Amino acid sequence: MNKDPIHVIGGGLAGSEAAWQAAEAGVPVVLHEMRPVRGTDAHKTDGLAELVCSNSFRSDDAQTNAVGLLHAEMRLAGSLIMSAGDAHQVPAGGALAVDRDGFSGAVTKNLEAHPLITIQREEVPGLPPADWDQAIIATGPLTAPGLAQSIADVTGADALAFFDAIAPIVHFDTIDMDICWFQSRYDKVGPGGTGKDYINCPMDKEQYLAFVRALLEGQKTEFKQWEGTPYFDGCLPIEIMAERGVETLRHGPMKPMGLTNAHNPSVKAYAVVQLRQDNALGTLYNMVGFQTKLKHADQVRVFRTIPGLENAEFARLGGLHRNTYINSPTLLDHSLQLKSRPGLRFAGQITGCEGYVESAAIGLLAGRFAAAERLGQAPALPPLTTAFGALLNHITGGHIVSDDEPGKRSFQPMNINFGLFPPVEAPKAEGKRLRGKDKTVAKRRAVTSRALADCREWLRLPSRAEAAE
Ligand SMILES: Cc1cc2nc3c(=O)[nH]c(=O)nc-3n(C[C@H](O)[C@H](O)[C@H](O)COP(=O)(O)OP(=O)(O)OC[C@H]3O[C@@H](n4cnc5c(N)ncnc54)[C@H](O)[C@@H]3O)c2cc1C
């Protein structure tokens, strides 16, 4: 067997988990972390898996919350990030919050103590050399500039972004289709389209003016000084466009031209909000051109004033941040491998997932896939019905790449959420159809119990019933 090590670049949430998983599979690992030799604008310590901001891994509810489910699947897969998190948790209601120093200290200690892991404190200045035949780049949102440039050279400059520009995403089944209608502007049938590719939400003049006022009055998050102000025409936040004049949005993303309200054809809408299908499952729609720095609570409040979105549930809210991430759906294969360079994988936030837990989960998968290859096996992909599989599928294929807006990238970072899973039928209670909140909770429970059973099978663990015997 080839005993050359797997090289993991970056000892953050993803790289630490990737190194652990590969070593636990019996493969030697060299983990390269540049801190403390070189720092980033956000990290403050030389600890591995440092949490740069909040100390929360979010909800730990594995039955009705998607990130809680991801926690549970990671625990089943022997995650180091989760075991260190569990060992250093602090009280936070239903959330899993951790003592950040204790957590990072435990991850560092476990990795240092592993007999198959060598940690090298050095910056990797460019792409891995050719003799690193199995490598994982997990250098995160603040990847050092030299390596970022090399990634841009190999992927093409357009495929690496240094800021995200996130528009909110809405669960399709919470959009009121008695108010909205499907239509592409001028019924245009684009590549792969039908002429009915967008969901349209109509506004009259009064609603539009009130909406613009609400955008201007809403509270915004500020950029950190080191982030700079990355505004460029083509991805301006919606509220900045609104500041340029009351009619600006009506001539931009909210223009009503070429659209006829299917519910009221004789009345022309004064403005229209469009949503475009975001995933192949058709469960998620993104609000076109609605990237924003409004605070999350204000986004929910203001966007629910849009006709048809009064009861919208958001799978993701908008944002604009300093980030470094690649256009994974076009660049990576299903095992996170760069199509143009087999043996080189990406993991963590640089793949276009978002958040500590998601980054660690993608690191876990990359570590397992690389180890399997080193051991001469084909990487076993997690089923789509699991949180692992749903997140992986978003990154490597489930997201629909839009090509009808030249110059823009539709692939934007994403947290795990229920819209990424194949839908289930809502179970009935005593033969009766459930409604409202009861229906939502029952559907979530059905998705999570299917996910945990399928995850156990994927990991070849005994089922819960077998384990209880
Ligand atoms: C300011 C800021 C605030 C954030 N707040 C939150 C939050 O509150 N909650 C949340 O869930 N997520 C937050 N995030 C996102 C968070 O960074 C990620 O979720 C998570 O840390 C990503 O994990 P990762 O392993 O991909 O990257 P990181 O954890 O950043 O790890 C990458 C590692 O690679 C190292 N590295 C970089 N380049 C090189 C190189 N060339 N050679 C060697 N080593 C290198 C870095 O030093 C770092 O240790 C925030 C991000 C930023 C920038």
**pLDDT recorded at residue 232:** 60
Look up the pTM and report it: 0.89
Determine whether the shortest distance from the Cβ of 54 to ligand 1 is under 6 A. yes
Mean pLDDT across the chain: 92
Determine whether the shortest distance from the Cβ of 453 to ligand 1 is under 6 A. no
The larger pLDDT score, comparing residue 398 to residue 311, is at 311
**pLDDT recorded at residue 236:** 84
- Please check whether residue 138 is in contact with residue 348, taking contact to mean a CB–CB distance below 8 angstroms: yes
**pLDDT recorded at residue 404:** 55
328-370 per-position pLDDT tens digit: 999 999 999 999 999 999 999 999 999 999 999 999 999 999 9
Nearest CA to 276 among 113, 469, 408, 118?
A: 408
User: Cα(219) to centroid of ligand 1, in Å?
Assistant: 26
Question: What mean pLDDT do residues 157-179 have?
Answer: 90
Mutate to test the pocket of ligand 1, among 7, 13, 320 (most ligand atoms within 8 A of CB): 13
Q: Is the peptide bond before 36 cis (omega within 30 degrees of 0)?
A: yes
Nearest CA to ligand 1 atom 3: 53
Determine whether the shortest distance from the Cβ of 141 to ligand 1 is under 6 A. yes
Q: Radius of gyration (Cα) for the chain, nearest Å?
A: 23
Specify binding-site residues for FAD.
Answer: 10-15
**pLDDT recorded at residue 363:** 98
Q: Which residues of 411-439 are buried (b: 16+ CB within 10 A; e: fewer)?
A: bbbbbbbbbbbeebebeeeeeeeeeeeeb
Determine whether the shortest distance from the Cβ of 385 to ligand 1 is under 6 A. no
**What does the alpha-carbon distance between residue 357 and residue 347 come to, in Å, rounded to a whole number?**
12
The token duo for 308 is 């048809």
Look up residue 58 and give its amino acid: R
**What does the alpha-carbon distance between residue 118 and residue 437 come to, in Å, rounded to a whole number?**
50
Q: Which residues pair with 320 in a beta bridge?
A: 165
Nearest CA to 75 among 59, 65, 66, 86?
A: 86
Specify binding-site residues.
Answer: 10-15
Atom number of ligand 1 nearest to Cα 10: 34
Mutate to test the pocket of ligand 1, among 96, 325, 346, 356 (most ligand atoms within 8 A of CB): 356
User: Cα(356) to centroid of ligand 1, in Å?
Assistant: 8
